[in-house]
A and B are shown apart, each in its own frame.
Chain A
């Protein structure tokens, strides 16, 4: 028989490959099924990776031990900050013993970029710099964790600051001197009790004195007992009210009811609180409400805004809401087009830039080189000459001041009260621009511009038993100061010493 393989080779190959070797395309190889498996595998892989990362993160404290200096004073495990070795060596060179890290927060000084330009490190221990002893140290680090500047604190008070690599060539911060009120005039320093019990906010507008406490508000009429009323929406007891009355129209006031969620509902009155109507905006984030002239000012949904009627709000700072929020602000008391804001990252952890506008928000410029104090400012006040003062509560209250003429920040020493300075302080300013400082022990001080000294105002008798800073603390014009304490609140007649 002749060889006819060409006619049969295909058939024979098919027989060998299909029947004998059983080479068949499997349904599981279909791309549809394969991609489904890949999705499932990706999901499991992602889940496993996340779980592994979480496990590694949670187990880090068991494997990464803190340094000897940190371990001796630190009790936390997860909170231990692992500093780079060169930085640890640099801190050891400044300390005379063990130290522990109190906080390490990022600092942002290049608005609107949300990338840290450095870090603010606060450490506690024993430090001797430039011949000055301190128990804590606040350092500004660059992004390479190298020291750029620092401030030494003793009992919460700044005593020494330096800039640059040489910590021995710094500047001593002379403690502030305070005068007793013994030299006051006949009526000066006389307290008038406003009421008993704490208050949360206070706003004087014309003949009205609006105050709130919890979910209650009252319009104080001098010489009569206050009529406390529940806020208009009859909220739960956990609601906290804030009130502000318009100085230009004292019968108009805005009341914010802040729920525990942080969102507030607003109510407006135009007849001194006889009737209230909703602001019609639903729940919004509105905090730090004040009234100046004919405007309400507040941090409205994270940025600075004003309103004349409480219903229409105008933002003057177009923030990138994904990255920044306003921590606190100050308005020039005589020119509302001048304002300053302190920003913080939206996550809340860090020290953001300070911005200033002089044209009602049309342009903003950065107030540079905010000092490294370990935290963002909690309160700011502005003088009519453009100077800005900021209170920072980090370990102890520190007041820093930006002199517009010199275009730089400096530490403003406040009176030391020994260990009592370690706590929260308060800051306000009167119409003349004199600073009113509420020390953590309850004493109030006024800084006089012409002497540079602090004058002490002792808290009212009977209301000072708590030993805490006055809150709220507010100047009413140039001759009165309002101070609240846990057991009551009142006015002190205190004509401004500024000329």
Chain B
């Protein structure tokens, strides 16, 4: 069990407050499963906690957290791919239980459109547009080059454009 001093604990609490929600939502969008996202974000925060115990809270960063969440999501997806019979495999389910929750029309359409992207593009969209990560930070989190991020964002935009344009036109009338 890592030993942290009071200052590190306070900094870690601030870190959780700042990034906890975003990490959870990033995991959810990546995995499209609330239970899996809950597991992943808890495991990621636990690793951050241990990291603080070893190296101090000053070394914490959002990039490190999202990098960890990305890896955990990748592991989770690999697990589901290897065990398709696993009843917890929800990746292949296009409409989850939570999707039945009534959404505001435009935000629901946006989320639905993003969720139709493939996971790498989803992650890029989330990190870049929702988490306000820079290209460099997004690339670090996804362990790819910035050029790859640019390419994925370009493709994601190409895929989203036809999906979102009608909605916008409708709302803007």
By a beta-carbon cutoff of 8 Å, the part of chain A in contact with chain B is 1, 3-6, 9-10, 12-25, 29-32, 34-35
Contacts and interface: CB of A to CB of B under 8 A. Distances in A.
Given A6-B129, A23-B21, A16 B108 contact: yes
Given A13-B126, A30-B45, A31-B48, A25 B168 contact: no
Interface string B109-139: 0110010000000000110011010000000
Interface stretch (B72-80, B84-92, B96-104, B143-151): B96-104
Interface in B1-58: 1, 9, 13, 16, 20-21, 23-25, 28-29, 34, 37-38, 41-42, 45-46, 48-49
18 contacts: A6-B129, A6-B157, A9-B160, A9-B164, A10-B130, A15-B107, A16-B111, A19-B104, A20-B102, A22-B101, A23-B25, A24-B21, A25-B24, A25-B41, A29-B45, A31-B48, A34-B42, A34-B46
Contacts of B25: 17-18, 23
B34 to A, nearest CB: 8
A32 B10 CA distance: 12
B48 A13 contact: no
Contacts, number: 104
Contacts of A35: 1, 46, 49
B48 A17 contact: no
B155 interface: no
A32 B21 contact: no
Given A3-B165, A4-B168, A10-B130, 18 more contacts: A1-B168, A3-B164, A5-B160, A5-B165, A12-B107, A12-B111, A13-B111, A16-B107, A16-B108, A16-B111, A17-B29, A17-B130, A21-B101, A23-B37, A25-B16, A25-B21, A29-B45, A30-B13
A253 B78 CA distance: 82
A10 B114 CA distance: 11
Contact of A23 (B16, B24, B106, B107): B24
3 nearest A-B pairs in the assembled complex, by CB-CB distance: A25-B20, A31-B49, A16-B111
Given A15-B107, A25-B24, A32-B49, A3 B102 contact: no
Interface of B: 1, 9, 13, 16, 20-21, 23-25, 28-29, 34, 37-38, 41-42, 45-46, 48-49, 98, 101-104, 106-108, 110-111, 114, 125-126, 129-130, 132, 157, 160-161, 164-165, 168-169, 172
A21 B21 CA distance: 12
Most buried by A among B41, B42, B98: B42
Contacts of A18: 21, 25
A3 B113 CA distance: 15
Given A3-B164, A35-B1, A17 B23 contact: no
B38 to A, nearest CB: 7
Contacts of A15: 104, 107
Nearest to B37: A23
A15 B103 CA distance: 9
Nearest to A31: B49
Nearest to B114: A13
Contacts of A31: 42, 45-46, 48-49
Contacts of A34: 42, 46
Contacts of B104: 15-16, 19-20
A10 B129 contact: yes
B161 A20 contact: no
B61 to A, nearest CB: 17
A141 B132 CA distance: 75
A321 B138 CA distance: 62
Most buried by B among A20, A25, A32: A25
Contacts of A23: 21, 24-25, 28, 34, 37
B24 A24 contact: yes
A185 B48 CA distance: 96
A193 to B, nearest CB: 74
A17 B28 contact: yes
A496 to B, nearest CB: 72
A12 B41 CA distance: 22
Nearest to A17: B25
Contacts of A17: 25, 28-29, 111, 130
B38 A9 contact: no
Given A10-B130, A24-B21, A3 B110 contact: no
Contacts of B165: 3, 5
A5 B28 contact: no
Contact of B42 (A10, A12, A29): A29
B49 A1 contact: no
Nearest to B109: A12
Contact of B129 (A1, A13, A21, A25): A13
Contacts of A1: 168-169, 172
B131 to A, nearest CB: 8
Contacts of A29: 20, 38, 41-42, 45
Contacts of A19: 104, 107
Contacts of A20: 101-104, 107-108
Contacts of B38: 29
Nearest to B17: A25
A31 B9 CA distance: 11
Contacts of B172: 1
Nearest to B39: A29
Contacts of B164: 3, 5, 9
A451 B20 CA distance: 95
Nearest to A7: B129
Contacts of A32: 9, 49
